[in-house]
Amino acid sequence: MNARVILSIVVLALGGVAAMLPNAKNSSLELNEKALHQELLLSSHFVTADELADLLINQDPSLQLIDVRTIEEAKKDPLPGAINIPLDSMFSPDKNFYLDQTVMKNILYSEDDQLATQVWMIARQKGYKNNYLLQGGLRAWKNNIINPKYPEQTASKAAFELYEKRAAASQYFTGAEKVIKPKVAPIIPIQRRQKKKVQGGCS
C-alpha cells in the first residue's frame, strides 16, 4: 500500500477520532497533506521486526509495546509484555498519558500498519514524542521472526546470516528446542570429461 493511500485512510480516520477526543476542536486536527505525506515517507518513526526482537531479547527497560487492536484481537497473539489500548480509548483522559510522555520508547502495533499508523499520526499531530511504529505490524513479526523463511541456495551470505539470527530469535520467543532447517539437496559439481590423449604419431 503506497503512502498516498495510507494518508487518505489516516485523514478519514482522524476525522472520526477527533470527535471522540475530550474537549478537542476539529480545527486543532486539521492536517496538511503535504506534511503528512513527508512524514509517512520518512523511516525514522519505524522499528523493524528485527530491531524489536533485539530490544526484547536484551530486555531494554525503556521499551513499551502498545497493541492498538481491539481487546478480542489482542487476546489471540499478543507480543511479549505488550499492553492493549484500543484505538477508541487511546486518547481518553485515563489513557492519554501513555502516549504523552518522554520516558518510555513506545512501539505501537496492529495486525498491519494501518490501525497503528492512525494512532501514531494523531499523536504526532498533538506533538507527542517517543512514539514509533512496528513496521509491517504483527504480520512482519510472524513472517520474519516467528516463522523465518530459509533462504534459497543462491542467496547471499548476508541472507543466510540474517536467517540464522532470526531462527535463534524464533527459538527464544517460541521456546522451540530447535528450528528445523529444510533439507536441501547438495549441489554436485559437473565433472568435465577429460580429453583422451592421442596415442601414436610420427616416430
Residue 198: predicted pLDDT = 59
* Residue 97 grid coordinates: 498519558
The verdict on residue 136 lying in a domain is yes
The verdict on residue 115 lying in a domain is yes
The verdict on residue 86 lying in a domain is yes
- Residue 50: which CATH number? 3.40.250.10
The verdict on residue 83 lying in a domain is yes
The verdict on residue 40 lying in a domain is no
The verdict on residue 57 lying in a domain is yes
Answer yes or no: is pLDDT of 72 > 50: yes
Q: What average pLDDT does this structure show over 30-44? A: 68
The verdict on residue 154 lying in a domain is no
Per-residue pLDDT tens over the stretch 87-138? 999 999 999 999 999 999 999 999 998 899 999 988 988 888 899 999 999 9
What residues make up the domain containing 83?
45-142
Per-residue pLDDT tens over the stretch 128-166? 889 999 999 999 999 999 999 999 999 999 999 999 999
Residue 199: predicted pLDDT = 61
The verdict on residue 185 lying in a domain is no
Q: In the chain, what's the furthest Cα-to-Cα distance?
A: 111
From 59, 62, 13, select the one nearest 36 (Cα to Cα).
Answer: 13
Three-class SS of the chain: CCHHHHHHHHHHHHHHHHCCCCCCCHHHHCCCHHHHHHHHHCCCCEECHHHHHHHHHCCCCCEEEEECCCHHHHHHCCCCCCEECCHHHHCCCCCHHHCCCCCCEEEEECCCCHHHHHHHHHHHHCCCCCEEEECCHHHHHHHHHHCCCCCCCCCCHHHHHHHHHHHHHHHHHHCCCCCCCCCCCCCCCCCCCCCCCCCCCCC
The total number of structural domains that make up the chain: 1
Q: What does residue 15 show for φ and ψ, rounded to 5 degrees? A: -60, -40
